[in-house]
């Protein structure tokens, strides 16, 4: 009974902590829907895979969201046709490479500036590396969940069509009147012939501010419903694991330099604490763990946690999440272990 | 599924994961297999020692040792050796050990901090783990040195630096200046002094200018340069009287009088590299800058005004009970003040010495009919050394000075030494508490004595002796006459 009570408390606290950030992420993602023109976005983002990954990891500076807020934004970027390498490097880096998190880490570890600097550098390096690996995959469809693929294909067909229309040179039409039936629409004269279906005339009135707001709020509600559900599920799983695998047990796994890195990585995944505050949580282990294991906690936690896996499952196929998870874990271990040699 | 596995991302990801797994295996194996001295080995070690090769002084009271991993605290505390020994207390914050000294470091010493045999301890493990890589750190304390004003021969009226650590004696100021007052800067690298040109003759006290001079102590011998003086404040429009230097060495406060208009009289403030600025409406008598370097205590009327060191600022407080601040404790948390007992008819014509601290404690230490000339805190702030006078009611009233030690906890007063024929009013406590310097001077009223330094009452000093008292915890104190001719000795911080 006590365990259920504890699990419920943990569940609620995770949810209360994460929900505002998810909301910010969803609001940001919905505003991206209207504020950014996808065609411009794609033309402006670099084509070079490495450069794309670097840019993707630094987008976090513009959108200070933690690991719950970055999923909706990454999802939106993918839906807008941004390459997976950019979206994934953003997904991994944004929770750490943003001003709020860097500032809070500085407050907690200001006396050990190496931890602050290396948290940023290592997170950036891991995000760029994994983003670069995903640039190998030019077609993003095999990575994504079927529902997302459907939306993406719908979008892409629209996009291709527009592109075709743009590329097609207008036929030379005689300025004289033609015979036939015509649709008169906002000054446009459309002949009712076979070409009408392809042109897809826009019969709707231009979106007014009100209708834009309506679309925006509709999108917010829809995303919150989808991702909020996943967050609740993720938080519940994380809470249950924390009750049945207590922190003391995880901490007791750290018995030397190597196992303490692993224990802190495991802890970071289980406690699912938000990246904006995790440095204060980590600080409480400063007495009992090595700097390299604290660093591992600070790098790995924001990238992967159980609560976030639920959200990621709404975007990516499970095996893609396993790749991201494994690569992030291995790179975190290697980098922090090497750091352990030096300090 | 087979088709899916053929996606480029699957191939790349699996290949990279495989390579990383091998790399991790190699790293883990390497750290285990290649022994203690190998670069792949990550054993416990001291990652930072805050006093490494540092020159420390009385104000440095704690060093920090940072370890690269959690340590077995007891084994560290047991194995930490400081040579020569420095008693202190351990406190831990995470992987950092702070060692707070109970007494200041002895000046002119080189200390070695050694740690070997301490063991790591992880939270998850009950056993103590690997032994630390032996650590040896070193730090040095500043030179034991003091400055005085010479009284004989070519040293007359000049600042002399006596460095006991290096066994050297240096004349700091040129022969054309007669030094009247001086204050060393907090690191002992410079000295601020007021002096007049020898040519000014009788008017010396009216033509004082402020200068600084580099002492050159605590520097390697090959870098030592001849002392150069720098003018800080001239005497053109204003006459400079008393001055004080803040404990951080960044603020000088001078009492100045306009040569044309004697009503234009008050305190001026000089900050680093700035022009002097009047401190506003601050007439008053004696003053001293508090150890926080932000406040000044000025005797005003029948009390002490505490003013912020800002031009035209409102007073912070007015202590009507006290008439004078004698001294502040080195950390600024407490002060010694004098109450002239003007409100109490029974105690009229007596003076009471009070200990006042920032927690609101006000403790009367003693009440006497004589005078309270000067007091200095022992660096530990457990004792106070005071120069007091006893009123001898013989045929005529006569004050006999004596030096006393006052225990601030118990209030016990222990007279150490009587000083007959003593006329000066200052004592100087060594920053490590290992010596009290004072002088004994002979003055003359003769008008012919020009171009010679004067004492506080303006009388010309014709002869003097320097004395060193070595405080001890026992009742017997050792006193020694120094083979130097001078007066106003002051330890370099």
Residues of B in contact with A266 (CB under 8 A): none
Q: Does B5 touch chain A if contact means CB atoms closer than 8 Å?
A: no
Q: Flag whether pLDDT at A199 surpasses 60.
A: no
> Which region among A264-268, B49-53, B152-156 has the lowest average model confidence (pLDDT)?
B152-156
Three-state DSSP state, A110: coil
With a CB cutoff of 8 Å and minimum separation 6, the contacts of A22 are A68, A69, A71, A72, A224, A227, A228, A231, A311
What's the mean pLDDT in A217-234?
82
Residue B4, pLDDT score? 52
- The C-alpha atoms of residue B461 and residue B443 are separated, in whole angstroms, by 4
B409 or B40: which leads in pLDDT:
B409
State which of A30-44, A282-296, B326-340 shows the largest mean pLDDT: B326-340
Nearest to B121 by CA among B111, B112, B130, B113: B130
Residue B82, pLDDT score? 93
CB–CB contact B70 A287 (8 Å): yes
What's the mean pLDDT in B461-471?
79
DSSP-derived secondary structure for B298-363: EEETTEEEEEESSTTPPPSEEESS-SEEEEE-TTSSEEEEEE---S-GGGTT-EEEEEEETTS-EE
CB–CB contact A256 B129 (8 Å): yes
Q: Does B333 touch chain A if contact means CB atoms closer than 8 Å?
A: no
Query: Do B352 and B339 meet the contact criterion of CB atoms below 8 Å apart?
Result: yes
What the block records as the tokens of A251 is 């901490």
CB–CB contact B20 A337 (8 Å): no
Residue A188, pLDDT score? 58
What's the mean pLDDT in A157-164?
53
Residue A297, pLDDT score? 92
Q: What is the pLDDT of residues B208-245, one digit of tens each?
A: 889 999 888 877 665 556 678 888 888 888 888 889 99
- The C-alpha atoms of residue A331 and residue A284 are separated, in whole angstroms, by 24
What's the mean pLDDT in B284-313?
84
> Which region among A191-205, A264-278, B344-358, B475-489 has the lowest average model confidence (pLDDT)?
A191-205
Q: What is the pLDDT of residues B129-141, one digit of tens each?
A: 788 889 999 999 9
Mean of per-residue pLDDT scores for chain B: 83
Mean of per-residue pLDDT scores for chain A: 78
Residue A296, pLDDT score? 94
Residue of B nearest to A287 (CA): B94
Residue B349 pLDDT level (bands cut at 50, 70, 90): confident
Residue A75, pLDDT score? 84
DSSP-derived secondary structure for B245-308: E-TTS-EEEEEEEESS-TT-EEEEEEETT---EE-SS---S-EEE-TTSSEEEEEETTEEEEEE
Residue B165, pLDDT score? 87
**Interface with B, mutate which of A135, A257, A332 (most B CBs under 10 A):** A257
A309 or B404: which leads in pLDDT:
B404
How far away is chain A from the Cα of B60, in angstroms, using its nearest Cα? 19
Choose the closest CB to B16 out of A286, A289, A327: A327
Q: Flag whether pLDDT at B289 surpasses 80.
A: yes
Nearest to A303 by CA among A325, A271, A282: A325
CB–CB contact A330 B20 (8 Å): yes
- The C-alpha atoms of residue B106 and residue B115 are separated, in whole angstroms, by 21
How far away is chain A from the Cα of B1, in angstroms, using its nearest Cα? 11
Residue A16, pLDDT score? 84
> Which region among B84-98, B192-206, B214-228 has the lowest average model confidence (pLDDT)?
B214-228
Q: Flag whether pLDDT at A267 surpasses 90.
A: no
Query: Do A52 and A135 meet the contact criterion of CB atoms below 8 Å apart?
Result: yes
Residue A169, pLDDT score? 45
- The C-alpha atoms of residue A54 and residue A305 are separated, in whole angstroms, by 23
Residue A171, pLDDT score? 47
Query: Do A17 and A249 meet the contact criterion of CB atoms below 8 Å apart?
Result: no
- The C-alpha atoms of residue B9 and residue A140 are separated, in whole angstroms, by 10
Q: Does A336 touch chain B if contact means CB atoms closer than 8 Å?
A: no
Q: Flag whether pLDDT at A65 surpasses 90.
A: no
- The C-alpha atoms of residue A300 and residue A330 are separated, in whole angstroms, by 10
Cis link prior to B84 (omega < 30° from 0)? Answer: yes
Residue B312, pLDDT score? 76
Q: Does B34 touch chain A if contact means CB atoms closer than 8 Å?
A: no
DSSP-derived secondary structure for B189-217: SEEEEEEEEGGGGGGGGGS-EEEEEE--T
Q: Does B93 touch chain A if contact means CB atoms closer than 8 Å?
A: yes
ipTM of the complex: 0.77
> Which region among A229-233, B3-7, B249-253 has the lowest average model confidence (pLDDT)?
B3-7
Q: Flag whether pLDDT at B458 surpasses 80.
A: no
Chain B window 115-154: which residues touch A at a Cβ cutoff of 8 Å? 122-125, 129-130
CB atoms within 10 A of CB A298: 30
Residue B222, pLDDT score? 59
Q: Flag whether pLDDT at A97 surpasses 90.
A: no
Residue A204 pLDDT level (bands cut at 50, 70, 90): very low
Residue A170, pLDDT score? 46
The residue behind tokens 């995790």 is A278
Q: Flag whether pLDDT at A334 surpasses 50.
A: yes
CB–CB contact B123 A290 (8 Å): no
**Interface with B, mutate which of A251, A287, A324 (most B CBs under 10 A):** A287
Residues of A in contact with B24 (CB under 8 A): 330, 333-334, 337
- N- to C-terminal Cα separation, chain A: 45
Q: Does B95 touch chain A if contact means CB atoms closer than 8 Å?
A: yes
Return the ∠ at Cα B178 (arms to B177 and B182), rounded to 5°. 105
Query: Do A67 and A274 meet the contact criterion of CB atoms below 8 Å apart?
Result: yes
CA distance to B196, B227, B402, per residue, from B209 (Å): 6, 18, 34
Choose the closest CB to B124 out of A134, A143, A252: A252
CB atoms within 10 A of CB B26: 11
- The C-alpha atoms of residue B244 and residue B288 are separated, in whole angstroms, by 6
What's the mean pLDDT in A148-176?
57
Residue A177 pLDDT level (bands cut at 50, 70, 90): low
Protein fold of B46-141? Immunoglobulin-like (2.60.40)
Q: Where are the domains of chain B?
A: 2-33, 46-141
Residue A118, pLDDT score? 93
CB–CB contact A323 B93 (8 Å): no
Residue A3, pLDDT score? 80
How far away is chain A from the Cα of B145, in angstroms, using its nearest Cα? 35
- The C-alpha atoms of residue A226 and residue A151 are separated, in whole angstroms, by 14
């Amino acid at each position: 009974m006590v365990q259920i009570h504890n699990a419920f408390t943990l569940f609620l606290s995770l949810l209360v902590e994460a929900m505002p950030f998810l909301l910010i992420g969803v609001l940001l993602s919905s505003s991206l829907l209207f504020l950014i023109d996808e065609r411009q976005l794609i033309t402006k983002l670099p084509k070079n895979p490495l450069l794309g990954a670097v840019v993707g990891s630094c987008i976090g500076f513009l959108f200070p969201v933690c690991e719950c807020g970055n999923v909706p934004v990454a999802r939106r970027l993918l839906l807008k046709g941004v390459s997976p390498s950019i979206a994934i490097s953003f997904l991994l880096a944004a929770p750490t490479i943003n001003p709020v998190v860097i500032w809070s880490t500085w407050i907690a570890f200001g006396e050990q500036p190496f931890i602050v600097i290396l948290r940023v550098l290592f997170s950036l390096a891991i995000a760029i590396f994994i983003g670069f690996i995903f640039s190998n995959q030019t077609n993003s469809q095999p990575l994504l969940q079927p529902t997302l693929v459907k939306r993406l294909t719908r979008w892409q067909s629209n996009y291709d069509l527009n592109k075709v229309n743009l590329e097609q040179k207008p036929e030379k039409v005689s300025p004289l009147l033609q015979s036939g039936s015509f649709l008169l629409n906002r000054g446009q004269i459309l002949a009712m012939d076979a070409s009408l279906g392809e042109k897809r005339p826009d019969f709707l009135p231009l979106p007014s501010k009100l209708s834009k707001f309506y679309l925006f709020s509709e999108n917010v509600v829809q995303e919150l419903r989808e991702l909020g559900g996943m967050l609740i599920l993720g938080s519940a799983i994380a809470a249950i694991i924390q009750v049945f695998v207590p922190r003391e047990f995880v901490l007791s796994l750290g018995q030397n330099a190597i196992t303490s890195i692993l224990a802190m990585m495991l802890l970071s995944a289980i406690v699912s604490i938000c990246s904006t505050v995790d440095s204060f949580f980590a600080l409480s282990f400063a007495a009992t763990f090595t700097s390299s294991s604290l660093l591992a906690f600070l790098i790995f936690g924001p990238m992967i946690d159980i609560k976030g896996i639920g959200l990621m499952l709404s975007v990516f196929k499970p095996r893609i999440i396993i790749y991201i998870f494994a690569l992030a874990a291995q790179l975190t271990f290697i980098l922090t272990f090497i750091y352990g040699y030096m300090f | 599924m087979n088709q899916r596995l053929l996606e480029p991302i699957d191939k790349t990801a699996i290949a990279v994961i495989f390579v990383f797994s091998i790399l991790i295996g190699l790293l883990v194996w390497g750290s285990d297999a290649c022994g203690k001295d190998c670069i792949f080995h990550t054993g416990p070690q001291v990652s930072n020692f805050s006093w490494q090769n540092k020159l420390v002084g009385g104000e440095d009271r704690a060093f920090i040792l940072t370890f690269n991993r959690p340590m077995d605290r007891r084994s560290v505390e047991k194995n930490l050796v400081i040579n020569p020994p420095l008693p202190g207390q351990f406190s831990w914050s995470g992987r950092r050990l702070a060692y707070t000294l109970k007494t200041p470091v002895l000046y002119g010493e080189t200390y070695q901090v050694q740690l070997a045999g301490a063991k790591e301890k992880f939270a998850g493990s009950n056993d103590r783990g690997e032994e630390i890589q032996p650590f040896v750190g070193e730090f040095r304390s500043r030179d034991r040195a003091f400055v005085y004003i010479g009284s004989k021969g070519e040293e007359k009226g000049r600042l002399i630096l006596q460095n006991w650590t290096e066994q050297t004696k240096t004349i700091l100021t040129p022969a054309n200046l007669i030094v009247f007052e001086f204050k060393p800067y907090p690191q002992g690298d410079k000295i601020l002094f007021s002096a007049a040109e020898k040519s000014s003759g009788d008017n010396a006290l009216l033509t004082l200018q402020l200068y600084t001079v580099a002492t050159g102590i605590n520097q390697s011998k090959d870098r030592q340069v001849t002392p150069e003086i720098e003018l800080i404040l001239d005497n053109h429009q204003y006459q400079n009287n008393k001055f004080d230097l803040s404990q951080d060495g960044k603020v000088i406060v001078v009492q100045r009088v306009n040569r044309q208009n004697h009503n234009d009289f008050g305190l001026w403030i000089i900050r680093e590299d700035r022009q002097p600025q009047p401190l506003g409406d601050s007439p008053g008598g004696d003053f001293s800058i508090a150890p926080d370097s932000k406040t000044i205590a000025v005797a005003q009327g029948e009390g002490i005004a505490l003013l912020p060191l800002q031009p035209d600022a409102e007073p912070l407080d007015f202590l009507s009970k006290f008439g004078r601040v004698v001294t502040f404790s080195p950390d600024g948390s407490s002060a010694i003040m004098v109450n002239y007992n003007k409100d109490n008819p029974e105690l009229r014509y007596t003076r009471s010495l009070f200990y006042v601290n920032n927690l609101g404690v006000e403790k009367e230490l003693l009440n006497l009919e004589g005078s309270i000339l000067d007091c200095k805190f022992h660096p530990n702030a457990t004792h106070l050394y005071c120069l007091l006078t006893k009123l001898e009611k013989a045929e005529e009233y006569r004050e006999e000075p004596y030096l006393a030690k006052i225990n601030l906890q118990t209030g016990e007063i222990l007279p150490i030494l009587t000083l007959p024929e003593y006329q000066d009013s200052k004592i100087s406590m060594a920053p490590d508490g290992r010596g009290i310097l004072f002088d004994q001077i002979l003055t003359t009223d003769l008008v012919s004595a020009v171009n010679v330094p004067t004492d506080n009452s303006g009388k010309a000093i014709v002869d003097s002796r320097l004395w060193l008292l070595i405080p001890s915890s026992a009742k017997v104190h050792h006193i020694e006459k120094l083979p130097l001719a001078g007066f106003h000795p002051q330890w370099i911080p």
